[in-house]
Amino acid sequence: MPSLEWEYFLDTHYRPHLVIVILQAGLGRKAKHAEVLERLIEELGVVANYAMHHEDEQIRVAFERDLDASTFGKALDAGVTLRGGLDEWASETICSFDAKGKALR
């Protein structure tokens, strides 16, 4: 499934699932991290809509489907997932990347 533009995605999908990827390398590497994340999403075979947004030292990836967000988070060795009482999101997961685009625990 192709990536959608962030604002359009948020306007058309009620309470999507969010995965926040914290960047450890600084702003200059954000484009490389985004490319790595796009490739990972393709390799995982995400089937529903998703969108990516760069914000400060993080890349936010929103997914329409819980299963896609969960699979993506597990591939990145993500930590805590919050579910339920979030205003904007159905779930929120956080993980980190190092300078080479590798997941950190």
The enclosing domain of 59 has a CATH number of 3.30.70
Domain count, the chain: 1
Provide the residue range defining the domain that includes 27.
3-104
Question: Which pLDDT score is estimated for 30?
Answer: 67
Residue 78: how many other CB atoms lie within 10 Å: 20
What DSSP letter does each residue of 85-101 carry, written as one string?
S-SS-SEEEEEEE-TTS
What is the Cα–Cα distance from 64 to 49, expressed in whole angstroms?
5
Could you give the angle at which helices 30-44 and 66-75 cross, rounded to 10 degrees? 120
For residue 44, give the nearest of 63, 59, 57 by alpha carbon.
63
Question: Which pLDDT score is estimated for 31?
Answer: 72
> Which pTM does this prediction carry?
0.84
Question: Which pLDDT score is estimated for 99?
Answer: 46
Task: Give the strand pairing for 91-97 and 17-23.
Answer: parallel
pLDDT by residue, tens only, the chain of 105 residues = 568 999 999 999 999 999 999 887 554 566 778 888 999 999 999 989 999 998 878 899 999 999 999 999 999 888 767 776 667 899 899 988 764 455 544
